């Protein structure tokens, strides 16, 4: 039997994200929509729609036109969600900027995206974003016209929304601040690390995101009675689609525990608000289970949730099911280019399925597993590359036609770069990667991107970056560096990285070497570097952890 499966057919929504919000506000206006714990803010769906439309009107006051791009560079907060929904209502495109980005990465995204406005906090405990932005803009020919800080008057004026369509509710759920928007237009751009060294902007449409979020809401059996705790970052699809859009579709509450991940704040919010669903990458669940006061929090309100973003250690999954009182927690798999979800285990699937697979094909989703050399579909039980086709496939990479063509073949199949096996029942196990990719605590890192940055160091002659197994993060980075001359060391190279690239891309270990393990034809053997590091750093236990 071939490794091909198609999820059940389900009617797709022909709605924009703005229409989805308005429809929910009309259906359950008094249902709790959003709680930001650290900001002490609460909104019903009617209140949220009113706030969103004020912001949409304020954005239009910046003389932004339909299709213009605006960026949000922030950790989790009310303002992030207001901008996500307001941009959709106003016909604008939201560019998600990772708050871990530093000047080198931010400058690239400013130029590449062509965003005309960027919204941000001036600083937090980790960095001065005002200073990083100034460095990124220095000598930069980006199109950016407005840098708007959330704690300053221009943002307050936007949030007041003098041109807000105050009659939106009376006009019905199809009311919009501007002319009608095609659901197949791009609404969101998310940057992924690139195999060629530079991040690529993934173009996602209303149709992609609304329907993927809706199918997660259906799969998790959400209603307006659910309260969804979202400690995962909003700048990733996990947060802004599976978190925000799935909740909006169901009329469920979105609970933001803290600006960044804080296990104590997450556990407290579950207990305080009676959360019914909890999200996280495996490292988040590990941190919550290890919290010194874990047993003092009442988590019995939990019913379901999603663990995704990285391979899930089976023992961690079992503890979430029992110790976190979350019997219907699920495993999901996908990537930014697929909006993001491709597979989801069922809330009523046997525990064995939920701890050993990533689920089966979601509705309206085709999956196949192909031979990495020939492209032919392999038999079930054989390993190959996971490919997907359907409504959820990105429109493409922004201004990257060749890269898009390499990822989406002429038949419309997106090649994920992940290796997997399809069981006889259609459930999938992810077994490895065809791409050179490291997943550190849920963050995707292409070693090539880090290598190309390290080559900008004046004393680096040659560098190879690989992933190293890590019990807490799943993987971490190690760099082998050959110097031009002998006056640089590990600390000096790491200092060179700080402030220029995101902290999670800075190698945890740097080894200065004279040579690399090579094949007889002169190709560097990265697998040998990894084997040597596992042995010398005692990572055998981490390398042997069984994952779903």
Residue 176 has pLDDT above 60, yes or no: no
Q: Give the rounded percent of residues in the chain with a pLDDT score beyond 90.
A: 76
Q: Tens of pLDDT along 42-70?
A: 999 999 999 999 999 999 999 999 999 99
Q: What is the CATH number of domain 438-543?
A: 3.30.300.30
pLDDT (average), residues 413-432:
93
Residue 156 has pLDDT above 60, yes or no: yes
Q: What is the pLDDT of residue 14?
A: 97
Q: What is the pLDDT of residue 173?
A: 31
Q: Give the rounded percent of residues in the chain with a pLDDT score beyond 70.
A: 95
Q: Tens of pLDDT along 94-150?
A: 999 999 999 999 999 999 999 999 999 999 988 999 999 999 999 888 899 999 999
pLDDT band (50, 70, 90) for residue 527: confident
- Torsions phi, psi for 215 (to 5 deg): -70, -30
Q: Tens of pLDDT along 325-347?
A: 999 999 999 999 999 999 999 99
CATH 3.30.300.30 placement within the chain: 438-543
Q: What is the pLDDT of residue 271?
A: 98
Which 3 state secondary structure label does DSSP give 479? strand
pLDDT (average), residues 373-393:
96
DSSP codes, 430-470:
EEEESS--EEETTEEE-HHHHHHHHTTSTTEEEEEEEEEEE
Q: What is the mean pLDDT of the chain?
A: 92
Q: What is the 3-state secondary structure (H, E, C) of 79-138?
A: HHHHHHHHHHHHCCEEEEECCCCCHHHHHHHHHHHCCCEEEECCECCCCEHHHHHHHHHC
pLDDT band (50, 70, 90) for residue 355: confident
Q: What is the pLDDT of residue 178?
A: 58
- DSSP designation for 408: B
More confident site: 482 or 184: 184
Residue 431 has pLDDT above 90, yes or no: no
Is 533 within 8 Å of 476 (Cβ atoms)? no
CA angle 469, 308, 245 (to 5 degrees): 150
pLDDT (average), residues 232-246:
97
Q: What is the pLDDT of residue 32?
A: 98
Rounded-to-integer distance, Cα 143 and Cα 29, Å: 39
CATH 3.40.50.980 placement within the chain: 45-182
pTM, full prediction: 0.87
Residue 18 has pLDDT above 80, yes or no: yes
In order of 336, 337, 384, 414, the CA distances from 422 in angstroms are 22, 21, 9, 17
pLDDT band (50, 70, 90) for residue 404: very high
Helices 17-27 & 45-60 angle (0-180, nearest 10): 150
pLDDT band (50, 70, 90) for residue 169: very low
CA angle 284, 289, 293 (to 5 degrees): 115
- DSSP designation for 373: T
Q: Which residues contact 295 (CB under 8 A, 6 or more apart)?
A: none
- DSSP designation for 259: S
Is 273 within 8 Å of 35 (Cβ atoms)? yes
Q: What is the pLDDT of residue 175?
A: 42
Q: What is the pLDDT of residue 268?
A: 98
CATH 3.40.50.12780 placement within the chain: 1-16+206-435
CATH architecture for residues 45-182 = 3-Layer(aba) Sandwich (3.40)
Q: What is the CATH number of domain 1-16+206-435?
A: 3.40.50.12780
Is 355 within 8 Å of 548 (Cβ atoms)? yes
DSSP codes, 298-328:
--TT--EEEE-SSPPBHHHHHHHHHTT--TE
Paired residues of 470 in beta bridges: 474
Element housing 341 (H / E)? strand 341-344
Residue 251 has pLDDT above 70, yes or no: yes
Rounded-to-integer distance, Cα 261 and Cα 105, Å: 22
Residue 195 has pLDDT above 70, yes or no: no
Residue 194 has pLDDT above 70, yes or no: no
Q: What is the pLDDT of residue 309?
A: 83
In order of 209, 235, 416, 525, the CA distances from 394 in angstroms are 10, 17, 12, 33
Radius of gyration of the chain (CA): 23
More confident site: 322 or 486: 322
């Amino acid at each position: 039997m071939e490794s091909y499966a198609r999820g059940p057919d389900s009617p797709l929504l022909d709605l924009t994200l703005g229409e989805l919000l308005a429809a929910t506000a009309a259906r359950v206006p008094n249902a709790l929509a959003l709680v930001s714990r650290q900001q002490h803010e609460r909104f019903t769906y009617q209140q949220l729609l009113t706030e969103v439309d004020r912001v949409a009107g304020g954005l239009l006051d910046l003389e932004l036109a339909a299709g213009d791009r605006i960026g949000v560079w922030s950790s989790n907060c009310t303002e992030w969600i207001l901008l996500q929904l307001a941009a959709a209502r106003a016909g604008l495109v939201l560019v998600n900027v990772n708050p871990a980005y530093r000047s080198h990465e931010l400058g690239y995204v400013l130029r590449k995206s062509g965003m005309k406005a960027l919204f941000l906090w001036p600083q937090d405990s980790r960095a001065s974003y005002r200073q990083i932005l100034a460095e990124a803009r220095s000598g930069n020919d980006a199109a950016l016209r407005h840098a708007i800080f959330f704690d300053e008057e221009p943002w307050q004026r936007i949030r007041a929304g003098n041109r807000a369509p105050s009659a939106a509710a009376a006009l019905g759920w199809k009311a919009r601040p501007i002319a009608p928007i095609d659901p197949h237009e791009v609404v969101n751009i998310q940057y992924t690390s690139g195999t060629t060294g530079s991040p690529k902007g993934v173009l996602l449409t209303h149709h992609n995101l609304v329907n993927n979020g809706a199918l997660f809401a259906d799969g998790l059996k959400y209603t307006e009675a659910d309260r969804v705790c979202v400690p995962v970052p909003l700048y990733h699809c996990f947060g802004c689609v599976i978190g925000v859009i799935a909740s909006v579709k169901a009329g469920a509450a979105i609970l933001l525990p803290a600006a960044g991940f804080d296990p104590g704040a997450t556990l407290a919010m579950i207990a305080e608000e009676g959360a019914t669903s909890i999200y996280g990458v495996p490292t988040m669940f590990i941190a919550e289970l290890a919290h010194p006061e874990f047993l003092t929090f009442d988590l019995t309100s939990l019913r379901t949730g999603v663990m995704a973003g990285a391979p899930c250690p089976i023992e961690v999954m079992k503890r979430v099911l029992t110790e976190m009182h979350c019997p219907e927690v699920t495993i999901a798999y996908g990537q930014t280019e697929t909006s993001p979800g491709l597979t989801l285990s069922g809330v009523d699937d046997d525990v064995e399925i939920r701890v050993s697979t990533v689920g089966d094909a979601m509705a309206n989703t085709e999956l196949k597993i192909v031979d990495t050399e020939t492209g032919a579909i392999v038999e079930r039980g054989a390993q190959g590359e996971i490919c997907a086709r359907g409504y959820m496939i990105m429109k493409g990479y922004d201004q990257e036609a060749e890269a898009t063509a390499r990822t989406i073949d002429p038949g419309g199949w997106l090649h994920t770069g992940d290796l997997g096996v399809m069981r006889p029942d259609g459930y999938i196990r992810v077994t490895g990667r065809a791409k050179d990719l490291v997943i550190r605590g849920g963050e995707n890192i292409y070693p090539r991107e880090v290598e190309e940055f390290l080559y900008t160091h004046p004393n680096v002659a040659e560098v190879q970056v690989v992933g190293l197994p890590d019990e807490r993060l799943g993987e971490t980075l190690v760099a082998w560096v050959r110097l031009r001359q002998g006056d640089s060391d590990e600390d000096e190279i790491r200092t060179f990285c700080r402030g220029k690239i995101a902290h999670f891309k800075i190698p945890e270990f740097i080894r200065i070497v004279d040579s690399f393990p090579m094949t007889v034809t002169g190709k560097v053997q990265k697998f040998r570097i990894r084997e040597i590091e596992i042995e010398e750093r005692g990572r055998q236990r981490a390398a042997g952890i069984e994952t779903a």
